[in-house]
Amino acid sequence: MKPPSFKRGIEPMKAEAWVLGIEKLFEVFPCTEAQKVQLLAFTLEDRAWRWWMLTRTIHLGLTWDRFFELFYDKYFPQSMRDEKVIEFETLRQGNKTVAEYEAQFAKLARFAPHMVDTDYKKARKFEGGLRTAILDQVNMLKLPTYVDVLERVVIVEGNIAA
């Protein structure tokens, strides 16, 4: 198994994809904090490696969490993360299918965890972005969980399309 590598400049979604890939590795292969930093350093290439060479001399004894902060500051600036939060806050189903809306919802939710930190809040936020024709048939049920809402919405969408 080859770990994901990162070598690019400021390309936020590629940086995010790399972080997700590294986090996935850590779930499968539990590591100490020092091992995590060693592994992620091994996956950096080109400009990212040069950035790391400088960063590690300035910040001795880095943990994964601190590395993550420094990495995001460099490759996914706060202004861009703020844009993703706004994109999530204003996310609406519009002309998307429920599956497309749900995929976008899941992708952007990572940037606004405070808005979906309980299953109830996640369900309400998802409901709030639904197209009116679907929302009208679901919100009166006050389903308690995200999975319940998603299941019902898929059924409603199927009934509308039929």
Residue 69 is assigned to a structural domain of this protein: yes
Residues 102 and 126 in one domain: yes
Residue 19 is assigned to a structural domain of this protein: yes
Report the predicted TM-score, pTM, of the whole model to 2 decimal places: 0.81
DSSP string covering 62-77, please? --HHHHHHHHHHHHS-
Residues 117 and 151 in one domain: yes
**61 in the Ramachandran plot: left (φ > 0), alpha (ψ -120 to 50) or beta?**
left
Give the domain extent around 103: 88-161
Residues 62 and 116 in one domain: no
Q: What is the pLDDT of residues 86-139, one digit of tens each?
A: 999 999 999 999 999 999 999 999 999 999 999 999 999 999 999 999 999 999
Cα separation, 61 vs 58, whole angstroms:
10
Residue 101 is assigned to a structural domain of this protein: yes
Q: What is the pLDDT of residues 54-76, one digit of tens each?
A: 999 999 888 889 998 999 999 98
